[in-house]
Amino acid sequence: MKPRVIASTVAILLAVSIPAVAQKVTVDYDKAASFSTYKTYTWKEGTPAKNPLMQQRITDAIEKELAAKGFMKVNAEQNPDLVVIYHAAVDIETQINTVSMGGYSGFYGPYGGYGGGGSSTTYVDKIPVGTLRVDIGDPKNKKLLWQGKATDNLSDKPEKVEKTINKCAEKMFKNFPPDLKKK
């Protein structure tokens, strides 16, 4: 097999196997905050998902993670320690892939030459990418304490999106509340 054909085959396999966006989760928080003093939370509306079923899946995933960390949901009238707000967005990423089935190089001499041609095809994919940002603040001091952000490709299958939401929430809250013990 010609080296150029091998290189083209490898390039095709790489282009097909690489996803547009891998799940990315980042977290930031107020290093001076004493998270051990917070025990309760309530919700405040942010930018909800457009689909009410997805809204519920997002709040369920966040509430599950907070409950696992010992936080209790209360009504706003009960003076909660924390306020939780989420923002959801979906963007469309355009991915352009060109697959080249290159020809071969031939002979080029003083009287002309010959060589093989090739063909290439360009594919344009529209990939939905979801972003979920969770803000947690202290309502008494009106201060943002913690922020998590997750970005991932979205499937058109609701059960896969739900799995993605749960995985993102789990990663976001893995080290929540932050361990602030001084060494």
* 108 in any annotated domain: no
* 109 in any annotated domain: no
* 110 in any annotated domain: no
CB contact at 8 A, 71 and 39: yes
* 112 in any annotated domain: no
CB contact at 8 A, 129 and 168: no
Question: What are the strands, taking DSSP E only, across 59-155?
Answer: 72-73, 82-101, 108-109, 112-113, 119-138, 143-153
Q: What is the pLDDT, as a whole number, of residue 131?
A: 95
Q: What is the pLDDT, as a whole number, of residue 18?
A: 40
* 34 in any annotated domain: yes
Furthest C-alpha separation in the chain:
91
Domain with residue 150: its CATH number is: 3.30.160
Q: Average of pLDDT values for 142-158?
A: 95
* 182 in any annotated domain: no
* 42 in any annotated domain: yes
Encode pLDDT of 79-99 as tens digits. 999 999 999 999 988 888 888
Could you give the CA distance from residue 92 to residue 164 in angstroms, rounded to a whole number?
17
What is the count of structural domains for the chain?
1
Q: Which two tokens stand for residue 102?
A: 């290159």
- Name the residue range of residue 146's domain: 3-102+117-172
What φ, ψ does residue 174 adopt, rounded to 5°? -55, -45
Q: What is the pLDDT, as a whole number, of residue 61?
A: 98
* 62 in any annotated domain: yes
Please give the C-alpha separations between residue 70 and each of 14, 73, 75, 84, 162, in angstroms, as whole numbers.
44, 10, 17, 15, 23
Q: Is residue 6 over pLDDT 70?
A: no
Encode pLDDT of 105-143 as tens digits. 555 555 555 555 667 888 888 888 999 999 999 999 999
Encode pLDDT of 19-65 as tens digits. 444 789 999 999 999 999 999 999 999 999 999 999 999 999 999 99
